[in-house]
Structures are given as structure tokens and as C-alpha cells.
Amino acid sequence: MSKKLLEVRNLHASVEGKEILRGVNLSVNEGEVHAIMGPNGSGKSTLSGVLAGNPAYTVTEGEAFLHGVNLLDLSPEDRSHEGLFLSFQYPVEIPGVSMVNFMRAAVNAKRKYFDEAPLSASDFLKMMRQKRAIVELDNKLASRSVNEGFSGGEKKRNEIFQMAVLEPRVAILDETDSGLDIDALRVVAGGVNKLKTDKNATIVITHYQRLLDYIRPDFVHILYKGRIVKTGGPELALELEEKGYDWIKEKNDL
Amino acid sequence: MSNSLTQYINLFEENRELINSKSAGKLNAVREEALGELRDARLPDKNSEGFEKTSIEDMFAPDFGVNISRVNIPVDVAASFKCDVPALSTLLGIVVNDSFVPTSLLESKLPEGVFFGSLKRGAEVLTEVVNRYYAEIAPMGEASVALNTMLAQDGVLIYVPRGVKLQRPLQLVNIFSSPVSIAAFRRVLIVLEDGAEAQMLVCDHTQERANNYLASQIVEVYVGDGARFEACSIEESSANTSRYSRMFVRQEAHSHFSFNSTTLTCGTTRNEFEIDLNGEHAETHLAGMVIGSDSMHIDNDSAIRHLKPRCHSNQLFKYVLDDKATGAFEGSILVADGAQFTEAYQSNRNILASTEARMHCKPQLEIYNDDVKCSHGATTGQLDNEALFYMRSRGIPEAEGHTMLMQAFMVDVIDSVHINGLRERLLHLVDRRFSGTLGDCSGCQGKDC
């Protein structure tokens, strides 16, 4: 039997006093791919931000566990060490911090968390080379500042590259398809698929069915007004593509 | 009426023979004139324009000792090794309080005709140079200049004759060390004749850190036609050190002057830079980096005067202030009537890392001309929380993320240093400063720096 990796129960969260999540329940097992879809403003990015520990959000009720560890008690950095990864919808530019230093700090922080010695310079560079190949990330980007001056496609590839380096148990991809042309989409989705094993899980947050042609979900959830209002198989995404979100809205606004 | 100047005037009047006997030439020749200027003068206080955040009057008011009889104060010169810069071979000179202490063989390593040594000695052996420039670039009409001129007995002279290009950077280490609290009146004269070139690194340190120190420093710099002078100054003094440093620069045509002033630790520091672009096509790059914490106070003040056409100036000052540190930056650019095709830029960017830190900035442009390109910008903000969360989400601990962001903020100021090997050293010092491992000088033999 596959193990439960992420368990979210009755999660409520607000930003600046406004309640966005109003009781989310979600259960993700090893080896699974989940898609979370929903119209604008339904709380998709809030859910990913709350799980990653963004201090901008306040959890008002509910629980979340990552392979049995109480996620909400952990700092964002410890959530990362425990195996949670968020691919940002808008990856942040950090002028003056090189990609190499950024990744070295991240990798060695994780090793320290597990009482391991820092990677030697040569082992680190070797790993960077291998992981870059997964998303065909240009070597030149490594010496640049984090995301600074990267194109939209390069930023998203860079997210998946970081995911490859950190080897998370649960990866949340927040609107990874936004701002990507079809070729970049193929590369990014290909990278995600290469990283998929029967021991980890992926949560794909998206507006459109398009990405799901490349990353095949086992489950599709519809998030609306801060709750998961419908769950189904891959066919639910196709149904949404065809009918839009209006029927969901009508049904739930009654 | 009595003010902080009174005690120094009395000191001078009671000891003028002694003071003169321990100094020389032009230094002595202008003391009475300086005294005359001080008769009805006052040092600026917070009610004086441009000194809203730093009272010089208060800084000079305490009763410090002044070593007018030039008692030899023993100092741990080995501590200056702390300032060794890997991959940078320099010609080293040391100033203890206000006396130049020659290091062995320094003179024999200097190229023919170049002088780097005691100003008192310079006044004796290079009389013509000192007579021509000393107390000529800094305006005697200002009380703080007159005070320094009245009491300065020694300091540093750097003289690079026409066309001589120094291959190795000069390094000056200023060490405050005294068994009792002390005020030092330092004087520095730097003369680069036409076509000369030199680089310099200045480090300020404090030993015997429990004592109170006051540094009055006047630096006069003459950069001749086509001459080139680049310098970087790093202050790592103690919480009980007050410093009032004023640098006056006169640049001739086609000259190049660049200066980076870094404050890593201090008590109260006020640095002033007054630069006259006195010939066409002169170029100035002035940069400042301040890392303030605890109760440090750092005030930088610049005045760049474009007096001739086609000159270029660029200023970049950045502060990161934590705890209860306070900072001030007042920068002015003057474009005189007739200085067409001036290009002058100024930028001041600051980060307040705590809610109690304070920054005051006042950029000023005065333009009496049409054909110019000038700009100034000033911002004060906080660390980028989105960037910090992004780093944390990748597992980078919050404190380390803070350090990385603050260091990243300073990268462009560090990059403005063009002395090879020094950029890496500055990065290292800044890293240690932010991570709280920058120690004090006592007992340090340079091994762990």
C-alpha cells in the first residue's frame, strides 16, 4: 500500500483579515499526481503559499501533515528540508545573489539539517551539471543573479531545476504553465515527469487543461471560494475545458 | 563666550613653543593664522545647516588629552597585519594616533622621487611641495579646518612627481591606541603631479578599546592634469571612537579621482568629501558603504562642484542600518555657470533592517547651466520580504538569507573598487560583518581575518 505523503484537514487561512481558504481537505499519497484547478480568486495560490509557509498568510483553523510531520509548526526552511517544494508562479528576482551561491546555500542547509557535511565544491558542481540537463537550463544562467533578467521560460525551467536539486517528496507547481510557450511547456513538463518516482508526489495548480496533456494527473480537484468542491479523475479536467467554470459556480453559489 | 573650541585655544596658547618644536615648516607657519580664525568661531552643531544629525560641537566638547609633546605611545604594530589583503602586495605605512611610524624598508621600496611618510618630515625635505599645497586646498575660514591646522603636528604626506605611475598600492593603517582617552589631529596631504598615478588603501583601527578617542582629520588632495588617484578607506573602529574626517580634493583637467569610503564599525563618524572639478574632462567616482548596528552613527556628506565644462561625476552611497543605528547622507552637486556638458549623477539607497534604525537623507542639486545631464535618487526601505521567503522556501535559513540579501545589496558599491584583490577582501569583510564574526583588533594576529 502506498504511503500518505500530504494530509490537509479543514484548512482555513486569511490574508490581511480576509478569509481566502475556508476548509480545504486534501490527501495525497506516494506516486500520485494531483491537479488543482479553479477560476481566478478561488484560493489556488493561497493554498500553495500557506503550505509552503509564506508569512503573508495566517492559518486560522485546520491542520496539515507532511509524511506525518505537523507542517504548520515548521518554518518555511524546515518545510523545505522535510521535503516540500513550491514552484513559484512568479519566481522572485534576487539581484546580487548568484544562482551558484543560492543553490549552494540551499543544498548545504538541507545537509546540515540532516547532520551531513557540506558538499565539496567539485561534487556540488557535478550535481549542478547533472540537474541542469534535466530541464536543458543554460550553463550561463548559473553565474547570473537568481532569476535576474531570465526570460519567462528560463524562470520556470529554473524552478524545476531547483526542484531537481532539492529532490522533494511533495512538489507543488503553482501555475507553472503561465507565461510559457509550447516548446518551453514541453521541456518543463518533461522535467517534472523525469523527476516523478513512486516515492514522491506532485500537485499541479493550473487554470487550463493544456498542462495536463503533458503531466497526467491521477486526480483533479476543483477549488472554488476556498473549498474543494469537486474531485474526479483526468476526465474532470476535460469536462472543465469544454464547459468552463460557470456550471461549478452556479452549482456552488446557490 | 566659551564653547568647545576654548579648551583647544587655551591648550595652544599655553604650549605654542612646545607644539612648534615638535613639528616643522609650513605646519608651524600657519598656526597663528588658524588661531585668528578661531577667535570668534564656533564648530557646527545640530542647528547648523548640513549638520542636522551630527553635532561637531558636541563631538569636540569633552576634555580629551592631546599628545602635543609627542610622547611615544607603544602600539602593537602586529595588529596592523589584520589589514593584510591576500593577493595584494602594498607599501605599508602606519599612523599611531597622529604620528607617522615608518615601517622597515618602506623608503627603499618607493620609486625614485616618490614620498610616502611623515608630513612633519615632508615639510622639511619637500619644503616646496608642502609650502605650495598644505592648508591651501582646505579652506582655513572654516572652524574645523582652522582647529586642525592650529594643532596638527604630523600626519602623512604622499607625493608622486610628474608622470610617475606607482605599480603597487600604498597602504595606510591608522591605529588609535593610548593608555588614556585622547584626541588626534591628523593631517594628510596627497599631491599627484601631472600624469602621476597612485592607488591607496586606508584602514582605521582602534586598540585599547575601552578608552575614548576623537579623530580630527583633514585630508587635502591635489590631482594634477591627467593624473589618476584611486583610494579605498575602511573604518573598523570602536564604539567609543568619534571621527570627523574632511577630505578636500582639487582636480585638474583630464584627471581621475575615485574614492570608496566603507564604514564597518565605529562610534560616531562624520565624513565629508568636497571635490572641486577644476579643469575640463575631470572625472570623479565617489562611493560609500555603511553597515551600522548597535548605536553606531554614520553621517556622510558630499559636495561636488563642477566648475569647468565637460566633467563627469558619479556618487553611490549605500547604507544598511540595524538595531538602533542612525545614518545620514547629504550630498550636493553644484554645476557652476559656464560648466556646460556636465554629467553628474548621485544615488543613495538604504535599508533599515530594524524598526528602530533611522536614516536621514538630503540630496541637493544646484545647477546654473542648461546643457547638463544630472540626476539624483534616494530610497530607504526594508529587506525584500518576497526574496527572503523565496530563499527560505528553498531551505536557506532566515538569518543566512538576511545576510545574503544585505551582502547582495552592497555588491555594486564593492564592484566600484578597482584595486585588484581588494574587492574579494571587501566582500569577505562585509560577509563577516553581517554574520557578526568581525572581531576587534586586540589580540588578533591576522590569522583569523
pLDDT at B51: 93
Residue A35's alpha-carbon distances to A26, A170, A196, B140, B291, in angstroms, are 11, 13, 15, 76, 47
Q: Quickly state the pLDDT bin for B441 (edges 50, 70, 90).
A: very low
| Mean pLDDT within B228-238 | 94
Residues of B in contact with A80 (CB under 8 A): 392-395
Residues of A in contact with B394 (CB under 8 A): 80, 102, 106, 162, 166
Q: Quickly state the pLDDT bin for B83 (edges 50, 70, 90).
A: low
Choice among B76-80, B251-255, B335-339, B428-432 with the minimum mean pLDDT? B76-80
Res B447 pLDDT > 50: no
- Find the chain B residues whose C-beta atoms sit closer than 8 A to any C-beta of A: 384-387, 389-398, 400, 404-405, 407-412
According to DSSP, residue B175 is labeled E
pLDDT at B1: 52
pLDDT at B81: 58
Establish if A114 touches chain B: CB-CB under 8 angstroms. no
Residues of chain A with pLDDT below 50 are: none
Q: Quickly state the pLDDT bin for B232 (edges 50, 70, 90).
A: very high
Task: Choose among B168, B205, B203: nearest CA to B90.
Answer: B168
Residues of B in contact with A146 (CB under 8 A): 390
Query: What distance in Å separates the CA atoms of residue B198 and residue B192, rounded to the nearest whole number?
Result: 8
Residues of A in contact with B410 (CB under 8 A): 96
Chain A nearest C-alpha distance from B449 (Å): 21
Query: What distance in Å separates the CA atoms of residue B299 and residue B358, rounded to the nearest whole number?
Result: 12
Would you tell me the crossing angle of helices A121-134 and A182-195 to the nearest 10 degrees? 120
Asked: is A4-253 a CATH 3.40.50.300 domain? The reply is yes
Residue B91's alpha-carbon distances to B57, B94, B104, in angstroms, are 36, 10, 10
Query: What distance in Å separates the CA atoms of residue A235 and residue A239, rounded to the nearest whole number?
Result: 6
* Interface contact flag, B390 A145, Cβ < 8 Å: no
pLDDT at B445: 41
pLDDT at A187: 87
Query: What distance in Å separates the CA atoms of residue B74 and residue B62, rounded to the nearest whole number?
Result: 24
Per-residue pLDDT tens over the stretch B285-322: 999 999 999 999 999 999 999 999 999 999 999 999 99
How many Cβ pairs closer than 8 A exist between chain A and B? 79
Torsion-angle region of residue A103: left (phi > 0), alpha (psi -120 to 50) or beta? alpha
Q: The pTM is what?
A: 0.86
Question: Residues A88, B390: contact at Cβ < 8 Å?
Answer: yes
pLDDT at B446: 42
Torsion-angle region of residue B341: left (phi > 0), alpha (psi -120 to 50) or beta? left
Chain A nearest C-alpha distance from B387 (Å): 6
Report helix, strand or coil for B445. coil
According to DSSP, residue B2 is labeled -
Mean pLDDT, chain B, rounded, equals 90
